[in-house]
Structure 1
């Protein structure tokens, strides 16, 4: 509840700063820039270095879902699983439709090594399984957002658990987007 209040306060302050900045000359400094304020806030809250090129829409979206309980097969704020969370992010933030199952989503990507990941890429895991069983969305600084048994949260790929089960990263192929949309 406190987190939601802080976020709401930040939005109000950013809105006020934006309207105030419109009345000023174009010589606003970085401290008065609402996007810079939001970037600083998300950097602190999510533990990710959010720079000027980061997708603030992605961070705001994830922030709104943090703490949503995990529910296998779920796809709402009452409960959501990992693939539905990734699908919802891609739909709402990137305006891209992806498949619903983590293994099917992997069929839509160009596989990447951990050191090739960029913000918005997908991360796949084989957790106690021979096949892909978990997916998340990469944020940067080895952090990723996902829905797991603890609900929607941000984790670090270098944590022993996730490091052990990490399979590959992936970037949605342009051809996969076209093929899926046309079907």
Structure 2
């Protein structure tokens, strides 16, 4: 009887060790893949690796790069700046932030430029007294946005044009909830293949 218990105990311990080793290997592989993704997005978007903390954010932006600009658009066929930032927030952060740049600004807590974090919104007043443009901050003074001339792209807040018209940064308030949503079906369809 003691021999059977001893064999069962040894088998159980062996099973636990094998299971733990597999879990450790899976975590190691996931960390390696995440690090490779961070390095890749860092190079593509010009953001330091240490700033690429949210791989899902960078993957989403990457998937939309080059999408043409279309005023009022909300799909891969064409999108405007506020619908792009709305789509980022809905798909990356599971949060709805408002349907236009002024409405989005009303739903954020202002953040100083030096305190911006990846995922914060950046707002611009371009030749206007009111907010006319919005983007999503990526880190290292870079932000993703839907430019009226080049579509979805990554730009630098240090560029003279964006520096000149920069108004403020903002972080969505926790209680923000809007009913307007962006059509991200094309994103979901393309990535579920």
TM-score normalised by length of structure 1: 0.79
- State the partner residue of 1:158: 158
Q: CA 1:24–1:168 in 2, change beyond 3 Å: closer, same or farther?
A: closer
For 1:61 and 1:98, locate their aligned partners in 2 and report how far apart those are by CA, in whole Å. Answer: 17
- State the partner residue of 1:121: 120
Q: CA 1:53–1:141 in 2, change beyond 3 Å: closer, same or farther?
A: closer
Structure 2 unmatched runs, 5+ = 1-20, 180-193
Larger RCO of the pair (alpha carbons < 8 Å, separation 6+)? 2
Residue 150 (structure 1) shift? 0.9
For 1:165 and 1:92, locate their aligned partners in 2 and report how far apart those are by CA, in whole Å. Answer: 28
- State the partner residue of 1:10: none
- State the partner residue of 1:17: none
CA-to-aligned-CA distance 1:96-145 (integer Å, 9 cap, x gap): 01111100000000111210100100000000111000000000000000
CA contact (8 A) 1:98 1:105 kept: yes
Q: Is 2:159 the partner of 1:169?
A: no
* Local SS of the residue matching 2:49: coil
- State the partner residue of 2:143: 144
TM-score normalised by length of structure 2: 0.75
- State the partner residue of 1:68: 67
CA contact (8 A) 2:47 2:138 kept: yes
Structure 1 unmatched runs, 5+ = 1-21
- State the partner residue of 2:84: 85
For 1:94 and 1:122, locate their aligned partners in 2 and report how far apart those are by CA, in whole Å. Answer: 13
